[in-house]
Amino acid sequence: MATQQFSLGLTGGIGSGKTTVANMFAECGALIIDTDQIAHQLTAAGGKAIAPIQQQFGPEVIDEQGALDRKKMRQLVFSTPSAKQQLEAILHPMIRAECEHQALFGVGSYPIFVVPLLVESGDWDKRVSRILVVDCEEETQIARVMQRNGFPREQVEMIIQVQAARDERLGVADDVINSDQDLAQIRQLVNDLHQKYLKLAQAA
């Protein structure tokens, strides 16, 4: 992908503001491709990943509607470490293919792949032209997710703990948006970056 056209990978920890920033880029005219959304579609009832998942793990992980039973799958991954790799071996190529399809056929000035676990999984760094990290203080993440999801503090801290460390994420960043700022300031930064990315996309 990176060799054919300009593309951006957008990442950040839980509650960092990825969706908020992606929506602002969409308003500018970029094409947003959300890997979480794709994963959900693949594992919803009738999704392409359901048959291979059922074949791999048995009917126990499929709910009555025919969708992946996330709770059961989480338990399985917890009790059987190899299950995570097996699930990823099914999902990652499908997510990749769908991303490529949307990048080819979607409408927008350049594609932005929103990949929450960009640092943790796969070879995204080699597949995109640039990486934009949405960053904020850990306390901001905790407060936002507690408020948005109604999670207790310890649960949010645990999720942050298993995700890539802030420094690790910042280490792969070509550009950073600090989302501790107010939305008007972030919008200005998005506008400026969009102009830069448009030039890079035209040059590619």
Residue 133 binds to ligand ATP (criterion: CB under 6 A): no
How many whole angstroms separate alpha carbon 189 and alpha carbon 17? 14
State the binding string over 161-190 for ligand ATP (x if CB under 6 A, else -): ------------------x---x--x----
Q: Which three-class secondary structure string do you get for 57-74? A: HCHHHECCCCCECHHHHH
Residue 86 binds to ligand ATP (criterion: CB under 6 A): no
**Strand-strand pairing, 130-135 and 8-11:** parallel
CA distances from 47 to 38, 40, 42, 66 (A): 10, 9, 4, 9
State the binding string over 14-53 for ligand ATP (x if CB under 6 A, else -): xxxxxxx---------------------------------
Q: Which two tokens stand for residue 8?
A: 């951006």
Residue 101 binds to ligand ATP (criterion: CB under 6 A): no
Least Cβ distance, residue 183 to ligand ATP (angstroms): 5
Q: How many residues bind ligand ATP (CB under 6 A)?
A: 14
Q: Which two tokens stand for residue 89?
A: 């071996």
Per CB under 6 A, residues contacting ligand ATP are 12, 14-20, 116, 144, 148, 179, 183, 186
